[in-house]
Amino acid sequence: MNPHFKSKDFHLRVYVEDTDFQGVVYHANYLKYFERARSQFLIENNLSQTDAIAKRNESYVIKTINLSYYHPAILEDELTVKTEIELVSKARTIFFQSILNSKNDTLICKGEVEVCFIDNNSGKPKAFPLGLLNLFKN
């Protein structure tokens, strides 16, 4: 079995900019919420995406995304993004993410996001930074 890691929950509120004229969250914004949670996970673990790009010319890239929608989120909802990460290889992870309404735990959306790490010069996979790999050893 591949190593798993559970990230801290990420909390957010739905603002008018996230919604259509009826106050329902645009479907594409769930991708943004998932991205924010993944970025926050890296920040909290001292894994700077800016340093990876600027100093080492490396990037985290999305290979595949699969989403399932269950209930709409609406204006002013408080949401929780839950994230579990499976290390598939030293250069590939799968993020299992879900968005729930924080007040009643209603499942809003689920997704599986495959993230790879690459060398920007060659475009080829490269091992994740040791800081990330070490998270899966604990």
List the catalytic residues: 20
State the DSSP H helix or E strand holding residue 92, giving kind and residue range, or none if neither.
strand 92-101
Coil, strand, or helix at residue 10? strand
Under 8 Å CB-to-CB from 77, ≥6 apart: which residues? 13, 14, 25, 101, 102, 103
Task: Report the distance separating Cα 116 and Cα 62, nearest Å.
Answer: 6
